[in-house]
Amino acid sequence: MLESAPSATPVTFPSPFLWGAATSAYQIEGAVREGGRTPSIWDTFSHTPGKTVGGEHGDIAVDHYHRYREDVALMADLGLGAYRFSVSWPRVQPTGRGPAVQVGLDFYRRLVDELLAHGIKPAITLYHWDLPQELEDAGGWPERDTAYRFAEYAQIVGEALGDRVEQWITLNEPWCSAFLGYGSGVHAPGRTDPEATLRAAHHLNLAHGLGTSALRSVMPARNSVAISLNSSVVRPLSPQDPADLAAARRIDDLANGVFHGPMLHGAYPESLFAATELITDWSYVLDGDLQAIHQPLDALGLNYYTPTLVSAADPAQTGPRSDGHGASDHSPWPGADDVAFHQTPGERTEMGWTIDPTGLHELIMRYAREAPGLPLYITENGAAYDDKPDPDGRVHDPERIAYLHGHLSAVRRAITDGANVRGYYLWSLLDNFEWAYGYEKRFGAVYVDYASLARTPKSSAHWYGQAARTGTLPAVPVD
């Protein structure tokens, strides 16, 4: 199902509504060897031949570490009200153990102070995939101890910044950390072990619960603690076919239930256990774990890009798996080899992802039902396009404007339908290092010339800034 053309009726958001943009540390900071920072799994992975496009890495990225004042000034000029960024774990707590390095914390103190001085609300994500390499060497997320190390790290950052930062997110997209990092291997650390994938998922859940408790033990009660999930909108190819419906349920458990089950409801889906019983006995779920994970959330972050279309697999058909998560001979879906993935119809972004704002509306309404009344934030939504400056140096990206108009309109419809959506963070503020895709895919509202690192707001940045200042979506320009 595709989004209809933008309505001529202005789309206005209720006030207050938080208009922000998002980034992550490894994708933008650079300065990987400064201030005592030690390697993360993404430093190691990106420097391993064949793991990223062109062997590209985040050693410099877009040099936000040295240019943060310029980037904050850009946000202020655009009229943004909030900025979601992640803290680099190995910059703050090198090797993932022991005391904090104050020079690392000082960078984030300066960034927070700069944001507040410009009237921009900071929102901190504690973990956006940059596990200290020494913790991976000790077993990484499949090992229980990593969850306890994360809680210690969370307390360190909460003590340092909890007096000035009110919005906190424990983990970003734990599905990617577990299923792409330890299942398909297309993300760091690049392992391909189905059981380790599920162990990692559980210990990421435990890290969230323990980290939430650690934050609340050192921060003012007014602060909000959330998590950002890239929950999939899973649709059966044939809604009337019981086999396709069963395939969709299998993927929904692996993409969604494995996280929101224990977080929101205090239990894993029994159907998940049944589907993976040949892979793991789940004996690493110890007494007390589910209670530790099932902490009351102050908000929930939802990241959305495109829906997922599945069916029961045809045993006669072979070929690459088109699940939108990168090419690998290993599946990120343990226990689901009998599920086939299909390209959804419609226009696509440079990532090959179908543009379908109805999926965002569907996702929001699902969580409005899963957790009635819980404040929701769209903590990532955006699109990659092949942006290029024109001869005058301007960057026009009408496709991204149309994408944003469609998805923000879907958010507004969800609010009308009763969902408690409090804000939206555009992904991303800046063109940046796009993980295994290197610098090939541009998601930014601000164009970055990777040779000079000069920043140029694209036309979508100005469009979004006007929406942020007025609370009303500007018209989509006719190109």
Q: Is 56 a catalytic residue?
A: no
Q: Is 373 exposed, middle or buried, given 0-12, 13-18 or 19+ CB atoms closer than 10 A?
A: exposed
Residues 6+ apart with CB under 8 A from 15: 471
- Residues contacting residue 215 through CB under 8 Å, at least 6 positions apart: 154, 155, 158, 162, 168, 170, 223, 225
Structure tokens at 189: 């650390």
Tokens 């500007």: give the residue.
474
Q: Determine the Cα–Cα distance for residues 432 and 23; give it in Å rounded to an integer.
A: 9
Element (H, E) at 424: strand 421-427
Catalytic residue among 136, 143, 380, 399: 380
How many CB atoms lie under 10 A from the CB of residue 95? 16
Apex CA 184: angle with CA 178 and CA 190, to 5°?
A: 75
Which residues lie across from 472 on neighbouring strands? 12
Active site residue 173: yes
Greatest alpha-carbon pair distance for the chain in Å reads 64
What are the b/e assignments for 304-322, b being 16+ CB within 10 Å?
bbbbbbbbbbeeeeeeebe
Q: Considering the candidates 173, 195, 277, 350, report the single residue annotated as catalytic.
A: 173
Burial of 452 (0-12, 13-18, 19+ CB in 10 A): exposed
Using alpha carbons only, give the angle 325, 297, 18 rounded to the nearest 5 degrees: 75
**CB-facing half-sphere around the CA of 126: CA atoms within 13 A:** 35
Contact 221, 164 (CB under 8 A): no
Rg (CA), the chain: 21
Token pair recorded at residue 331: 């599946």
Residues known to be catalytic: 173, 380
